[in-house]
Amino acid sequence: MKKNIITLKEFEKRRAIWKKKIFKSDKIQKIKKKLYIETDKLNYSYTHNWFGEPILQTPDDIITQQEIIFKSKPQVIIETGVCWGGSILFYNLLSKVIPIKKIIGVDVFIPKELEKRLKKKCGKKLLLLKEDSTSPNLIKRIRKITKKYRDFFIHLDSNHTYDHVLKELKLYSKFLNKKNYIIADDTIVNEIPNQFYRPRPWNKKNNPKIAVKEFLKENKDFKLDLKLNYNHIISSCPGGYIYKK
């Protein structure tokens, strides 16, 4: 029997339809929300490793970041909120096939042993900066270090309060050029009940999603890429993927 072979173009068309149907399904949306709430109680997004270091992301968001980076080919990646370093190693692996020249990790605290391991694995392209991500001196330093580069990918994953994320969006969006992306992580906080089982200063009334809405209202040259959320089942970043038009 002859196989029914389709072209890649036709496959992409079908895949776009499948993704949209997943996103538009009320039944799936209800299941997704319930699944996120229940797995979050057991810290699901904290349970994965990348090359031996914890990566505090869901698999859906990791895959999506890879899609963005492959498509946009950034020369510089900036991550605020290094934590246990798994994301840094993820970006470093991508730099083997994409011409990423600098990976900059920003955090108020980075354990010395972790810093040693990350630098050993990543080499000279990695720069770790121990400072508040909204510090004017830090921004000035990053600007100086990256002045010869044009394309950026920025992942905001530090303090998830409204004030802090809005400051980060205003500061780091200035690095971006056309078709560059900035991700505001943990927008999911706006969609789920307050996480009393893990007390933190952000909640349904004080979170990155509200900051994103405010930022987009004031900055018309930026837009959400909602299609990136279409096929997500468990994502911490619904409505958090932003690009410069």
The domain limits of the chain are 8-244
Q: Tens digits of per-residue pLDDT, 193-214?
A: 998 888 889 999 999 999 999 9
Q: Mean of the pLDDT values across residues 143-171?
A: 97
- Higher-confidence residue: 200 or 223? 223
Per the CB < 8 A criterion, the answer to whether 181 and 113 are in contact is no
**Side-chain-facing half-sphere of 221: CA atoms under 13 Å:** 9
Provide the pLDDT for residue 28: 97
Q: Mean of the pLDDT values across residues 154-182?
A: 98
Distances (CA, A) of 198 to 43, 51, 161, 212: 9, 27, 15, 23
Q: Tens digits of per-residue pLDDT, 106-152?
A: 999 999 999 999 999 999 999 999 999 999 999 999 999 999 999 99
Side chain identity at residue 202, one-letter code: W
Parallel, antiparallel or unpaired: strands 102-107 and 126-130: parallel
Q: Mean of the pLDDT values across residues 164-187?
A: 98
Would you say residue 32 has pLDDT above 80? Answer: yes
Side chain identity at residue 186, one-letter code: D
DSSP type of residue 203: B
Instruction: In whole angstroms, give the CA distance from residue 67 to residue 139.
Output: 27
Q: Which CATH number fits domain 8-244: 2.40.50.140, 3.40.50.150, 1.10.10.10, 3.30.479.30?
A: 3.40.50.150
Would you say residue 44 has pLDDT above 90? Answer: yes
Would you say residue 5 has pLDDT above 90? Answer: no
Measuring CA to CA, which residue among 171, 180, 202 is closest to residue 189?
202
Instruction: In whole angstroms, give the CA distance from residue 242 to residue 175.
Output: 13
Instruction: In whole angstroms, give the CA distance from residue 97 to residue 92.
Output: 10
Per the CB < 8 A criterion, the answer to whether 76 and 151 are in contact is yes
Question: Across 38-173, where does the E strand assignment appear?
Answer: 49-50, 53-54, 76-80, 102-107, 126-130, 152-156
Would you say residue 2 has pLDDT above 60? Answer: no
Would you say residue 220 has pLDDT above 70? Answer: yes
pLDDT band at 154 (very low <50, low <70, confident <90, very high): very high
Instruction: In whole angstroms, give the CA distance from residue 65 to residue 85.
Output: 16
Q: Measure CA 9 to chain center.
A: 28
- Higher-confidence residue: 1 or 207? 207
pTM (predicted TM-score): 0.94
Q: Tens digits of per-residue pLDDT, 64-101?
A: 999 999 999 999 999 999 999 999 999 999 999 999 99
Would you say residue 3 has pLDDT above 80? Answer: no
Instruction: In whole angstroms, give the CA distance from residue 121 to residue 86.
Output: 11
Measuring CA to CA, which residue among 73, 79, 60, 62 is closest to residue 229?
60
